[in-house]
Amino acid sequence: MNKILKSIGGDKLSKELQSQLFNKLADLLTIGFSLNQGLKFIGQTYPGLTKTTQQIILGLKRGESFSQACTELVTSEVVDQLKIAEQHGQLHTTLEQLARFNFQRSEQRKKIRALLVYPLMLIVILAVLLALIHNILLPQLADLNGMSVRPNNQARPLALIGIALGFIIFIGLILKKMPTVKRYSILIRIPLIGKLVKQYVNYYLATNLAVLLENGLTSKDILTVISQFNPNSLIYELGSEVAYHLQNGDSYRVSLFRHSLIDSELISLLDSGETITEMAKLMTAYSQLVFNNLIRDSNKLISLIQPTVFIVIGLVVTIAYLQILMPIYQSIRGALLMKISGKRKAFTLIEMTIVLFVISLLILIIIPNLTKQRKNAETIHAGAMTSIVQSQIDAYLNVHPSDLNVTYEELQAEGYLTKKQVQKAKSEKIRITNNEAN
């Protein structure tokens, strides 16, 4: 599986290691280290980056630029950003931006892994339970009723999972072989992640344009610089299309509006008529705004992962219950009919034990999670209540700055907190000490 995933995404340096490398290198360049000195220092002091820095240093010794030496380690988009930066004396600034972006992505991946640990454990337990139900319990119950369990039904879920995984891998391989602009144009149409992809594209373009504009380059100069980049990169393909339309007499605004990838705000900035210096400042501010929106929306999407997984688990639990209870109902119905006809056939002790065992495990799966969610809700509510009390203390002190020991009674008497809020805060043991709620 790892080999297949590498064939889709490439054997690149992880986002976490990229963040560490770029951040440390930017700091060293800022305090006066040369590029070679910085790489050697990082390789000697940070063992996890030793092989990476050695690979880059070997590339520099062969006469390659820093961006060329990083070609095998990062994506083509990052290579282009590094190329722009080193050509225009902005390497340390771009390294800091890349380090910040990769750090955020690394933290989000850690957050996703942490959110998925508990649900994945539940899924494994449920898979074992379903296997036990299919292979032990259902045959026993079917035997009681004189029925047979079709073996083909047991392999059907595994076959469906295999087909789904194969389809995802197949789509990934197709997308990888597509031209970059076309690939991104498809990705932005995918629900949920499409908005994030578009934000990333605009952040990437705005960041590169800001660096070029800061160095006084005109639109013609920018297109000349872009034409030297990797032909498979996003910025090269977009630049080539703009250059083609300009040669045919169209404006760059017309050519950019043809792409659903590019936000109208970015096009408006390019068409604002400001001086290059002012446009560089606006582009930097815009890239920062898009970056903040990207991180915020990514976190919102991540927060939906665990509830979605638990909904799926809940459906599986429901199906598991139905698989157990329906045969039991049929068995009881059959037993009653046999009793009426004088031929009674009851459950064995082993069968009843298996049923009770499965139901107990399902309960053990659900109850701890409900308890955990309740504790989390109580913690969040207590933190929110503390913030409310503190904000009202601050508001009270704006009017009564000489009061060195604000109390709940004073806040209630002045109307800053209601009686119910005071009672809730006290029940949650929120104290006011030296005008601080804790």
Q: What is the pLDDT, as a whole number, of residue 327?
A: 63
Give the residue-averaged pLDDT of 101-118.
Answer: 75
- Whole-angstrom distance, CA of residue 103 vs CA of residue 96: 10
- Whole-angstrom distance, CA of residue 310 vs CA of residue 321: 16
- Whole-angstrom distance, CA of residue 27 vs CA of residue 38: 9
The number of CA neighbours under 13 Å toward the Cβ of 129 is 26
3-class SS at 431?
Answer: coil
Give the residue-averaged pLDDT of 45-69.
Answer: 90
The string of pLDDT tens digits covering residues 298-342 is 888 877 777 777 777 777 777 666 666 666 666 666 555 555 554
The string of pLDDT tens digits covering residues 387-403 is 778 877 877 787 787 87
The residues spanned by each domain of the chain are 180-303, 363-437
Q: How far is CA 410 from CA 184, 394, 406, 407, 429, in A?
A: 59, 13, 7, 5, 18
395-398-400 Cα angle (round to 5):
105
348: DSSP letter? P
**pLDDT band for position 279 (cuts 50, 70, 90):** confident
- Whole-angstrom distance, CA of residue 263 vs CA of residue 25: 33
| CB of 20 closer than 8 Å to CB of 46 | yes
Q: How large is the angle between the packed helices 138-145 and 305-341, nearest 10 degrees?
A: 30
Is the per-residue pLDDT at 151 higher than 60?
no
| CB of 137 closer than 8 Å to CB of 350 | no
User: Higher pLDDT residue, 69 or 338?
Assistant: 69
- Please give the model's pTM, rounded to 2 decimal places: 0.59
Tokens read off for 368: 């701890």
- The percentage of residues in the chain with a pLDDT greater than 70, rounded to a whole number, is 72
| CB of 258 closer than 8 Å to CB of 248 | no
Is the per-residue pLDDT at 243 higher than 80?
no
Q: What is the pLDDT, as a whole number, of residue 362?
A: 62
Is the per-residue pLDDT at 205 higher than 80?
yes
The lowest-confidence range among 77-91, 102-116, 132-146 is: 132-146
Q: What is the pLDDT, as a whole number, of residue 320?
A: 65
Tell how far CA 214 is from the center of its chain.
Answer: 32
Which of 319, 352, 362, 344 minimizes the C-alpha distance to 137?
Answer: 352
| CB of 101 closer than 8 Å to CB of 28 | no
Q: What is the pLDDT, as a whole number, of residue 179?
A: 85
Place of tokens 């891998």: 169
The lowest-confidence range among 68-82, 176-190, 245-259, 300-314 is: 245-259
- Whole-angstrom distance, CA of residue 296 vs CA of residue 157: 36
Place of tokens 């000490």: 433
Q: What is the pLDDT, as a whole number, of residue 41?
A: 92
